[in-house]
Structure formats: structure tokens, C-alpha cells
Amino acid sequence: MPEASNSSRARFITFEGGEGVGKSTQIKRLQQNLERRAINVVRTREPGGTPKAEAIRSFILQGRSESWGPGAEAVLFAAARLDHVNQLIAPNLRNGTWVLSDRFHDSTRAYQGLTGGVDDKLIAGLESLALDGNTPDLTIVLDMDPDAAFKRVADRAIEDGLALTGDRFEKEEIEWHKRLREGFLAIAKENPDRCVVIEAAQSENALEAAIWAVVSQRFPELLEGSPA
Ligand code: Z5A
């Protein structure tokens, strides 16, 4: 079968950043914007996205692997990713469906590597094993001050009538979250062809427009046939 031309092939876009920066909100809006243009899209998340990866997600986020240390957790995230890539991401891309993932390999680099102190070589080895060439075409890094992002998460808990108990990572100290933010910015700087940093401390509508501007500029085929 002939390969899809570059402009018509399905794209893989990931969203990254700290907690509460608006990844889940914006990935849904991007999905809607793409579907309005008749693009087939699957939205997924990490850790998770397949039944086996979701089982690993529950295990980690309940804190059951915390005492094993960041190296072992990096291996667990990679095991979840391997299944996610093999069962969901790669098959969809092959079938012409765009894939949007709420977090992907940069989260392992930032959380377990740059913030958790896991050796670069281990992170790189796990990455090459789990991705098997399925590197994102575009990574949107939503960036904002962790104090402000935490306020959003706290407000969400109040709105939902929940106590702000937090999962395993949300319980870390604010200084840790500041290092995490620097980690994501460093990853973006090292990968300028793939990553775009967007200021996340703006309204949901303004952020949606900023993300669409980046996506449509990166993939101009999306605007083909659109009214001027
Ligand atoms: N992790 C890891 O360590 N290593 C890895 O390899 C991977 C993950 C893949 C998964 O958590 C955890 O796993 C994560 C990293 C670690 N650490 N934590 N925690 P998760 O998936 O449960 O959580 P998250 O990814 O951090 O998502 P989140 O906390 O839900 O945040 P978000 O998706 O970025 O934000 P949101 O849900 O869209 O918005 C948060 C609230 O703000 C909500 O009430 C919104 O209505 C509100 N919001 C959103 N946008 C705005 C704007 N623009 N203005 C005002 N308010 C807004």
C-alpha cells in the first residue's frame, strides 16, 4: 500500500506540564477543533489508555510503588507506555487517526528523571524500548507558576465537594513542583523542533486559541479548504 503523503498522515500530539495547568481541558478542546475539520481523533492519557496501562496507573497513583523509588517507578511508567503504544497509539496512527495524549514520555523525563534523579541512560533506554520510534510530532508544554496551578486544583476540589487529598505526586512540596516546571522547560529547550511552550495562565478560550494557532501553523494541511 502506498504511504500517506506527509501532509495527509495522522499526527501524534502530546500535552505536558505540571498539575492543574489545564492539559485535560485543552486536549478536549483540541479534539473538538480537529473533529470540526473532519479529522478522526482519539484522545488518550498517560499513565493509562489501555486496560493494562490503567491497572499500572491505579497502582502507582495509589502510592503503592512509592517506596520502590523513582527508578522502579520509571520502569512501571515505561511498561504502561509500551502497552499503550503497541495497543492504541501505533495502530491508530497507522489507520490514519490522529492521537492526542494527555502526558507521554516527557513526563517520565521530567518527574522521574530531572526531578526524581533517575539516571539519563536508564530514562533513554526505557524511552527507546517503549516508544519504538513513535515520537510525538508536536508536544505542547503548558507552563505556569505552580502556586497558581495549585489554586486551580484546590478550587476544582471545592467545586466538586471533595477534600483536597491529592494523589501520590500532588502531595510533593511546592519547591519540588518548581523544579518540575524547570524540568519541562529544559526538555522544551532541548527539543525545539518538537516542543512548543505556551503560557497557561490565561483564560480557557484564549489558551484554546493559542494552541490552535500553534497546531494549525505546524500542520498547515488543517487549513486547506478553510475560508480565508
Ligand atoms: N507521571 C509521572 O510521574 N511519570 C510519567 O511518566 C507519567 C505521569 C506519564 C498523573 O496524574 C500523574 O502521573 C502526574 C504525573 C505522573 N502527577 N500528578 N499529579 P493525573 O493524570 O491524574 O494528573 P495531571 O496530569 O497532573 O492532571 P490534572 O491535575 O487534572 O491537571 P490538568 O489536566 O493539567 O488540568 P485540568 O484538569 O484541565 O484543569 C485543572 C482545573 O483548572 C480544573 O478545575 C479546570 O476547570 C481549571 N482550569 C483549566 N483551565 C483553566 C484556565 N485556563 N483558567 C482557569 N481555570 C482553568
Residues 172 and 175: their CA atoms lie apart, in Å, by 8
- Give the HSE-up count for residue 11: Cα atoms under 13 Å, Cβ half-sphere: 20
pTM given for the model: 0.94
Asked whether the predicted pLDDT for residue 26 surpasses 60, the reply is yes
Using alpha carbons, list the distances in angstroms from residue 69 to 40, 72, 175, 189. Answer: 39, 6, 19, 27
Using alpha carbons, list the distances in angstroms from residue 201 to 33, 139, 192. Answer: 21, 18, 22
Superfamily of domain 12-218: P-loop containing nucleotide triphosphate hydrolases (3.40.50.300)
Pick from 83, 111, 118, 123 the residue to mutate for probing ligand 1's pocket: most ligand atoms within 8 Å of its CB.
111
Ligand 1 proximity of 103 Cβ (cutoff 6 Å): yes
Pick from 83, 153, 180, 199 the residue to mutate for probing ligand 1's pocket: most ligand atoms within 8 Å of its CB.
153
The pLDDT tens digits for 126-178 are 999 999 999 999 999 999 999 999 888 888 877 776 665 666 576 678 899 99
Q: What is the CA(8)–ligand 1 centre distance, in A?
A: 31
Per-domain boundaries in the chain? 12-218
